[in-house]
């Protein structure tokens, strides 16, 4: 469960993490999350909060550090009707859920949201609405459950090694 931080449609990766901060180490980018659209965001967000946006969140360049910045700032999940393709993949690959629901227009800033990947729902505590998650199936879901692409790959390699040993 986390508090909602609401942003408009078509927020770019340059607004999520402005280019002037791209020379920072990957483990330092969280302090600049959303600086291109809300310079005070990092001071307000708390660990466990949820970012909510309109369609096409994370469009623009494929900078991998944009979702890293959000995750480091404390965001545990994102909810939007759609995402920039590369931003979506980068988010999943670092273990940051980028869930889609039909519309986010009814979610207000500060709403308490429960993102339940197992149930495939987002529950808005204020309105009492239960919204179905429209994505995160198959490999994307497996990557998230593993904690990101690196851990997913380690698990896959361990499984293959085990199968190889069993087949000898």
pLDDT given for residue 125 in this prediction: 95
pLDDT given for residue 137 in this prediction: 82
pLDDT given for residue 61 in this prediction: 83
pLDDT given for residue 165 in this prediction: 85
pLDDT given for residue 167 in this prediction: 84
Per residue, the 3-state secondary structure of the chain, as one string, reads CEEEEEECCCCEHHHHCCHHHCCCCHHHHHHHCCCCCCCCHHHHCCCCCEEEECCCECECCCCCHHHHHHHHHCCCEEEECCECHHHHHHHHHCCCCEEECCCCCCCCCCCEEEEECCCCEEEECCCCCEEECCCCCHHHHHHHHHCCHHHHHHHHHHHHHHHHHHCC
Strand order in the sheet with 121-124: 98-100, 77-80, 50-53, 2-7, 112-116, 121-124, 130-132
pLDDT given for residue 69 in this prediction: 97
pLDDT given for residue 168 in this prediction: 77
Domain 2-136 has CATH 3.30.1540.10: no
pLDDT given for residue 160 in this prediction: 87
Q: CA torsion sign, 135 to 90 to 138 to 50?
A: negative
pLDDT given for residue 68 in this prediction: 96
pLDDT given for residue 1 in this prediction: 87
Would you kindly state where each structural domain of the chain is located, as residue ranges? 2-136
**Could you say which residues of the chain have pLDDT below 70?**
none
């Amino acid at each position: 469960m986390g508090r909602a931080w609401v942003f408009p449609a078509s927020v770019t990766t340059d607004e999520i993490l402005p280019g002037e901060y791209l020379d920072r180490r990957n483990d330092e980018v969280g302090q600049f999350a959303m600086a291109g659209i809300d310079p005070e965001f990092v001071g307000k967000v708390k660990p466990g909060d949820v970012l909510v946006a309109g369609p096409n969140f994370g469009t623009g360049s494929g900078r991998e550090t944009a979702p890293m910045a959000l995750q480091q700032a404390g965001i545990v999940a994102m909810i939007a009707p759609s995402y920039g393709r590369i931003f979506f993949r980068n988010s999943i690959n670092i273990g940051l859920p980028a869930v889609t629901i039909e519309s986010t227009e009814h979610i207000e800033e500060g709403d308490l949201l429960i993102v339940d990947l197992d149930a495939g729902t987002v529950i808005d505590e204020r309105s009492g609405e239960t919204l179905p998650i429209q994505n995160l199936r198959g490999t994307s879901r497996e990557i998230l459950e593993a904690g990101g692409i690196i851990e997913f790959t380690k698990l896959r390699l361990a499984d293959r090694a085990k199968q190889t040993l069993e087949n000898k």
